[in-house]
């Protein structure tokens, strides 16, 4: 980041401007009287009365002349929210944060649907979400004439989309992969549900247009980005002539690529429908589907399912047709096309509402007034003018914001602007920061706020003349007038207690119980820390890091260490009263690494020896965090705790936990409890941590259930990270752990941060997702925020938007840098607004939509049955696509599935979310795994969710060995695997090398240094270092993939037909999954049916 390295190109400007001093108030940590403990910390805006004496004179709290008045809040008495300064007053206030955390998009409570009785269903056709109970679906289905690759199933009374009813109990053993155990094959059939859930059907989702009175654009439909890629020969086109080549095609069904494995997942019936009719036919604009008359028998793929086949009678045979996977939208093709069309030129941000290249495309960004997509990505860059339109389309309006995103070396780091003692120039009313969208008027003496329209005086020292276009003549000399992203130096008004912060501290807190010692963890960690401490984050070119360090070890009691530089040896102080934690020493606990190096080294040498013979197996957990937080408090600084923990904290102490894992709860109404913390103690503790600016990173090394859902509460609410190394063994997991640790310790972190998103009149931020805490409805409080973490913000209309002025977002992040400097980072983004739905659909970003929908669903499981969450996603997706079909697509046969070009991957990606471990766990996925993944996804950026849900599968021997570029990926399906080839699969967390059984002997020799396939060790995690081109290339590629991800991916070598292959197949997400997840083809068919039902 190194923002301070950039010399501001601006002259020093800004003398004191008392009028504009902002952020004065306080109560950062919460509203006294609410659940949040009172803190000495200033609120982000608007002073708490207790701190009013710190207010600069002239702070304006006048209510806006238009829009919702903030006055009532700004004037709130002590103990109430006083954030009026910080925004648009009440306009910004959504539901209370507690409610928000559980809110469902579209305001439909998940919980309103009762869970229907579940029955097991031995078959395969994926059952799906709720349908209107009155719907007579059979006739509507009839036109579809496509079936998935499924056998006719025996009649069942339900839809087999749910997880298995009777899951085999967890094996309890974690493979060394850190993944899940091997998949058992005799898995129970998927659960199903006998009825749709009318209650889950959001009321407003039925508010589709009553008639298709919408006139499509004159062009006959939305303009679509041109697609490259030849059509396959022989494919039929249904519908209007194709005006642009489209990558999808509909060749004869059952065409499989050479080398395709015909073995499906165990238990899955082979495709058995020969093709007699053309299937999905290609249509313009990414439309798919046969233009045929309805066939009454389509209901049969869902035999007996009341919501799908409402006609009485025995199940009918399937239509003799299988949808060809090559005929449906391919993620690989879309990614390739975007790379080819957009990867070569920089993305220039000067134009409002531009859709950036996909996250999978490598491109440079030129900031010309809007924030780079590295900082902000939106679900749509053209948002409907009215809430009615937005409700009709059901496209969530959300921004995924990564305020401290790292930039590639080719892109300039952010300028730091210093407006002097008065602090950054802001709008008097809404407190938005000076930005390129502010309008200077009256010869430059005043400016009109682009967010709230308030007219403000320009302070004399900021005055500048305007040119003939009304632009300030110094606009290009000032980052805040010409760039989308920049930083301001914050004044003391923006600091806790009106005092500039001290540099932050890192505290390493090491579990030294039996398991931690025995696995070799403690020795490994202490050895690593000796060198790692030289790489603490530092500001710019600073000689050494300003961060101080401290050390604690613990089992049932805590040991603090005095490592003061003047000591010859470290001193240990034991605190055994864990119920009332205190810090036994102040002086000598937090030290400068260089000054105390000898003592620290001595300590790190001694720790493994001191506890080498320990028999203590019990640990405490909450008191450890409490101790770290108290130490930071005593030192009056923010900081980060690095906790290395091995077991369920069962020792008698606050935060003591019991083993409450119960897989029988899966797919019941109580499943949500598996994701909820088992005690509220950790939330309370987290609030204290946030108030102190104490961020917690947790490294877990469990041998069994440790209740990740509870242990991760504090990291989650303090902006921290959780890492999990199941069954940690030094020899197997050292590389992964050390790589993660090094990255985690070195990464740039903003401490004690508050983020606020302001919007122009008409929309407002109503909901937030990520690792943070909120004590009111607008301020996102982050004890720590690193460059990997995102905050996702959802917007809703509160007024009509204007096509001409568009919509503006301004994200302001107040934080303390790693050197202790208080700064504001500002990101601005202007979006277009539309009165035609087609414009919305033309400017969407499916990857961001999926990111949002996954986070939304993963939060939903905290409060609702997982089945309900899945159904809600399916319904929303169908609504989105039905609205497009009804309002934007050119008229065509009802039998055709027509997808908006920008959203043609929505079904395949959504299906991946639906069948993910959180929403549809396989038998071997542990409760801890699910909780772990759930909280990981919450903070992921768009690129991470993209590859996490749809893994990359790279063939290694297909491209010439000399080729230095990454091989083009293939679709994540078993059908795409050739048994004569080798593939890498990665999803950001996992990395597999799959070896086909017929791979050439030379290849085997070159890569593994063995003479035959049978001699390759299954489960191998390191490739031998061999001096040949293939070995170098593959190892280089693996290094490359790892470098692209924020966590180290441990390699697992999987041989075809080997037992481990089941684990690998879990990631072939286009196929039907063992846990009952639908194949892509099946899901697309189902989605089509849902859409048709909505349209009828």
**Positions that interact with Zn ion (CB under 5 A):** 427, 429-430, 432, 449, 451-452, 454
Contact 434, 481 (CB under 8 A): yes
By beta-carbon proximity to Zn ion, the closer residue of 481 and 874 is: 481
Q: Choose between 86 and 1083: whose C-beta lies nearer to Zn ion.
A: 86
Nearer to Zn ion, 254 or 448 (CB): 448
Chain centre to alpha carbon of residue 156: 37
Q: Give the shortest CB-19-to-Zn ion separation in angstroms.
A: 14
Task: State in angstroms the smallest separation of the CB of 476 from Zn ion.
Answer: 23
CB-based burial label for 586 (10 Å; 0-12, 13-18, 19+): exposed
Measured at the CA of 79, the angle between CA 75 and CA 764, to 5 degrees, comes to 60
| For helices 927-938 and 846-860, angle between their N-to-C axes, nearest 10 degrees | 130
**Residue 450: C-alpha distances to residues 497, 759, 779, 798, 1030 (Å):** 31, 9, 21, 17, 57
What stretches of 540-608 adopt beta strand conformation (E)?
548-554, 558-562, 571-575
Question: Dihedral of CA 628/630/635/638: which sign?
Answer: positive
Report in angstroms how near the CB of residue 584 gets to Zn ion at its nearest. Answer: 50
Q: How far is the CB of 442 from Zn ion (least distance, A)?
A: 17
Single out the residue of 325, 321, 230, 219 nearest to residue 279, CA to CA: 321
Closest CB 902 distance from Zn ion, rounded Å: 33
Q: How far apart are CA 29 and CA 38, in angstroms?
A: 7
Return the number of the residue (268 or 452) whose C-beta is nearest Zn ion. Answer: 452
Give the E-state strand segments of 212-260 in sequence order: none
Instruction: Give the sheet arrangement for strand 791-797, strand by strand.
Output: 376-378, 397-401, 791-797, 763-769
Residue 15 and residue 461 in contact, taking contact as beta carbons nearer than 8 Å: yes
By the 10 Å C-beta count (0-12 exposed, 13-18 middle, 19+ buried), 543 is classed as: exposed
Q: How far is the CB of 457 from Zn ion (least distance, A)?
A: 13
Q: Which is nearer to Zn ion, 365 or 449 (CB)?
A: 449
Structure-token pair, residue 467: 């040119």
Residue 674 buriedness (CB in 10 A; 0-12 / 13-18 / 19+): buried
CB of 450 to Zn ion, least distance (A): 8
Give the residue with the Cβ less far from Zn ion, 429 or 827.
Answer: 429
Nearer to Zn ion, 429 or 1047 (CB): 429
Least gap, CB of 435 to Zn ion (angstroms): 11
In the complex, what is the shortest distance from the CB of residue 472 to Zn ion, in angstroms, rounded to a whole number? 18
Name the minimum Å distance from CB 71 to Zn ion. Answer: 14
Nearer to Zn ion, 187 or 759 (CB): 759
Among residues 452 and 889, whose Cβ is nearest to Zn ion? 452
- Give me the residue label for tokens 């070799």: 520
Quote the least distance from Cβ 427 to Zn ion, whole Å.
3
For Zn ion, the closer CB: 427 or 999: 427
CB of 65 to Zn ion, least distance (A): 11
Q: How far, in Å, CA of 350 to CA of 405, rounded? A: 20
On whether the CB atoms of residues 846 and 840 are closer than 8 A, the answer is: no
CB of 89 to Zn ion, least distance (A): 11
Q: Which is nearer to Zn ion, 44 or 551 (CB)?
A: 44
Q: Got the DSSP string for 881-941? A: HHHHHHHTSPP--TTSEE--GGGTTHHHHHHHHHTSTTTS--TT--HHHHHHHHHHHHT--
> What secondary structure letter does DSSP report for 127?
P
Q: What is the DSSP string of 1055-1067?
A: ETTSTTHHHHHTT
Nearer to Zn ion (CB atom), residue 419 or residue 429: 429
The residue (of 429 and 1088) whose beta carbon lies closer to Zn ion is: 429
CB of 438 to Zn ion, least distance (A): 9
Strand segments, DSSP code E, in 446-499 are 446-448, 455-457, 485-489
Q: Which of 1084, 1079, 1078 is nearest to 881 (CA)?
A: 1084
- Distance in angstroms (rounded) separating the CA atoms of residues 120 and 1042: 41
Q: How far is the CB of 798 from Zn ion (least distance, A)?
A: 15
Six-digit token string for 79: 């103990």
Instruction: Report d(CA 557, CA 596) in Å as an integer.
Output: 25
Question: Residue 421: how many CA atoms within 13 Å on its side-chain side?
Answer: 6
Kindly state the tokens that stand for 949. Answer: 């849900």
Q: How far is the CB of 454 from Zn ion (least distance, A)?
A: 5
C-alpha to C-alpha distance for 862 and 90, rounded to whole angstroms: 28
By beta-carbon proximity to Zn ion, the closer residue of 43 and 438 is 438
Alpha carbon of 784 to those of 187, 593, 694, 754, 1071: distances in Å? 43, 21, 7, 9, 40
CB of 351 to Zn ion, least distance (A): 24
- Closer residue to Zn ion in complex, CB, 447/949: 447
Between 429 and 756, CB nearer to Zn ion: 429
The number of angstroms, rounded, from the C-alpha of 975 to the middle of its chain's C-alpha atoms is 29
How many Å apart are CA 897 and CA 280, to the nearest integer? 8
Q: Do the beta carbons of residue 584 and residue 560 sit within 8 Å? A: yes
Cβ 475 to Zn ion shortest distance, Å: 19
| CA–CA gap between residue 7 and residue 540 (Å, rounded) | 11
Of 358 and 432, the one with the shorter C-beta distance to Zn ion is 432
Query: For residues 505 and 522, what is the distance between their CA atoms, to the nearest angstrom?
Result: 21
Decide whether 292 or 758 has the Cβ nearer to Zn ion: 758
């Amino acid at each position: 980041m190194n923002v301070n390295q950039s010399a501001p190109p601006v002259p020093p400007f800004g003398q004191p401007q008392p009028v504009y001093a902002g952020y004065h108030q306080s109560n950062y940590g919460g509203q006294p009287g609410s659940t949040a403990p009172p803190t000495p910390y200033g609120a982000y805006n608007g002073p708490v009365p207790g701190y009013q004496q710190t207010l600069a004179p002239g702070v304006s709290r006048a209510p806006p002349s238009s829009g919702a008045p903030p006055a009532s809040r700004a004037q709130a008495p002590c103990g109430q929210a006083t954030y009026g300064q910080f925004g648009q007053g009440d306009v910004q206030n959504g539901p209370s944060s507690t409610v928000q955390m559980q809110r469902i998009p579209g305001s439909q409570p998940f919980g309103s649907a009762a869970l229907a009785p579940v029955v097991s269903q031995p078959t395969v056709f994926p059952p799906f979400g709720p349908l209107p109970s009155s719907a007579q679906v059979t006739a509507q289905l009839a036109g579809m004439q496509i079936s998935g690759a499924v056998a006719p199933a025996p009649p069942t009374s339900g839809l087999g989309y749910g997880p298995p009813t009777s899951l085999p109990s967890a094996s309890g053993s974690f493979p060394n992969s850190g993944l899940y155990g091997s998949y058992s094959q005799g898995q129970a059939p998927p659960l199903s549900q006998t009825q749709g859930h009318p209650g889950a059907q959001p009321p407003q989702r039925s508010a589709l247009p009553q008639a298709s009175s919408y006139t499509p654009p004159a062009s006959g439909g939305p303009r679509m980005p041109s697609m490259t890629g030849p059509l396959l020969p022989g494919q039929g086109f249904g519908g209007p002539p194709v005006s642009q080549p489209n990558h999808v095609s509909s060749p004869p069904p059952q065409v499989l690529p050479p080398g395709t494995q015909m073995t499906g997942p165990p238990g899955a019936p082979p495709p058995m429908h020969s093709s007699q009719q053309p299937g999905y036919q290609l249509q313009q604009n990414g439309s798919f589907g046969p233009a045929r008359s309805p066939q009454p028998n389509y209901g049969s793929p869902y035999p007996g399912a009341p919501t799908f086949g409402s006609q009485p009678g025995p199940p009918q045979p399937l239509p003799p047709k299988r949808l060809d996977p090559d005929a449906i939208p391919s993620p690989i093709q879309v990614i390739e096309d975007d790379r080819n069309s957009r990867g070569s030129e920089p993305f220039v941000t000067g134009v409002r509402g531009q859709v950036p290249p996909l996250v999978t495309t490598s491109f440079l960004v030129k900031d010309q007034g809007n924030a780079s997509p590295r900082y902000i990505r939106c679900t749509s860059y053209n948002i409907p003018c009215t809430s009615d339109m937005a409700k009709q389309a059901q496209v969530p309006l959300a921004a995924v914001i990564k305020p401290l995103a790292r930039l590639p070396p080719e892109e300039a780091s952010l300028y730091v602007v210093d407006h002097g003692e008065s602090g950054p120039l802001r709008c008097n009313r809404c407190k938005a920061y000076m930005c390129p969208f502010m309008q200077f008027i009256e010869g430059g003496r005043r400016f009109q706020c682009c967010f709230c329209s308030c007219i403000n005086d320009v302070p004399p020292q900021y005055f500048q003349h305007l040119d003939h276009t009304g632009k300030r003549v110094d606009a290009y000399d000032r980052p805040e007038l010409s760039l989308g992203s920049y930083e301001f130096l914050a004044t003391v008004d923006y600091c806790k207690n009106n005092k500039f912060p001290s540099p932050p501290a890192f505290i390493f807190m090491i579990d030294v119980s039996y398991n931690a010692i025995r696995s070799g963890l403690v020795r490994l960690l202490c050895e690593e820390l000796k060198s790692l401490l030289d790489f603490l984050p530092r500001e710019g070119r600073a000689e050494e890091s300003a961060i101080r360090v401290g050390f604690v070890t613990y089992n049932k009691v805590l040991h603090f260490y005095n490592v003061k530089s003047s000591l010859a040896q470290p001193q240990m102080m034991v605190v055994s009263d864990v119920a009332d934690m205190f810090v036994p020493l102040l002086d000598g606990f937090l030290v400068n690494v260089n000054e105390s190096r000898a003592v620290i080294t001595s300590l790190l040498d001694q720790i493994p020896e001191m506890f080498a013979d320990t028999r203590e197996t019990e640990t405490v957990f909450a008191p450890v965090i409490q101790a770290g937080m108290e130490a930071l408090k005593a030192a009056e600084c923010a900081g980060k705790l690095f906790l290395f923990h091995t077991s369920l904290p069962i020792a008698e102490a606050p935060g003591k936990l019991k083993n409450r894992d119960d897989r029988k709860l899966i797919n019941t109404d109580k499943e949500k409890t598996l994701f909820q913390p088992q005690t509220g103690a950790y939330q309370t503790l987290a609030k204290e941590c946030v108030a102190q600016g104490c961020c917690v990173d947790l490294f877990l090394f469990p041998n069994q259930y440790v209740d990740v859902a509870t242990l991760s509460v504090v990291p989650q609410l303090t902006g921290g990270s959780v890492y999990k190394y199941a069954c940690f063994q030094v020899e197997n997991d050292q590389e992964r752990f050390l790589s993660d640790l090094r990255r985690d310790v070195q990464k740039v972190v903003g401490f004690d941060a508050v983020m606020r998103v302001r919007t122009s009149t008409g929309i407002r931020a109503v909901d937030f997702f990520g690792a943070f805490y909120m004590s009111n409805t607008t301020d996102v409080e982050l004890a720590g925020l690193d460059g990997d973490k995102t905050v996702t913000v959802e917007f809703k209309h509160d007024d009509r938007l204007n096509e001409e002025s568009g919509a503006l977002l301004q994200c302001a992040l107040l934080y303390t840098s790693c050197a202790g400097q208080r700064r504001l980072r500002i990101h601005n983004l202007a979006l277009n607004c539309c009165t035609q739905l087609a414009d919305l659909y033309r400017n969407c970003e499916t990857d961001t939509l999926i990111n949002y929908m996954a986070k939304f669903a993963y939060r939903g499981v905290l409060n609702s049955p997982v089945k309900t969450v899945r159904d809600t996603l399916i319904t929303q997706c169908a609504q989105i696509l039905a609205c497009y079909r009804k309002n934007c697509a050119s008229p065509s046969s009802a039998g055709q599935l027509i997808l908006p070009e920008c959203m043609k991957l929505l079904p395949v990606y959504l299906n991946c979310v639906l069948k993910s471990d959180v929403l549809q766990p396989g038998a071997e996925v542990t409760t801890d795994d699910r909780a772990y993944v759930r909280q990981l996804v919450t903070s992921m950026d768009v690129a991470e969710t993209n590859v996490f849900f749809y893994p990359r599968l790279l063939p290694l021997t297909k491209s010439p060995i000399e080729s230095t570029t990454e091989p083009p990926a293939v679709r994540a399906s078993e059908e795409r695997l050739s048994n004569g080839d080798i593939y890498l699969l990665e999803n950001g967390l996992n990395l597999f090398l799959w070896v086909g059984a017929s791979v050439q002997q030379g290849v085997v020799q070159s890569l593994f240094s063995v003479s035959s396939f049978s001699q390759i060790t299954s489960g191998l995690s390191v490739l031998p270092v061999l001096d040949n081109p293939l070995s170098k290339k593959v190892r280089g590629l693996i290094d490359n993939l790892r470098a692209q991800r924020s966590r180290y991916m441990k390699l697992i070598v999987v041989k075809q037909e080997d037992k481990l292959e089941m684990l690998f197949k879990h990631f072939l997400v286009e196929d039907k999954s063992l846990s009952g997840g639908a194949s892509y083809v099946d899901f697309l068919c189902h989605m089509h049916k849902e859409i048709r039902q909505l349209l009828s």
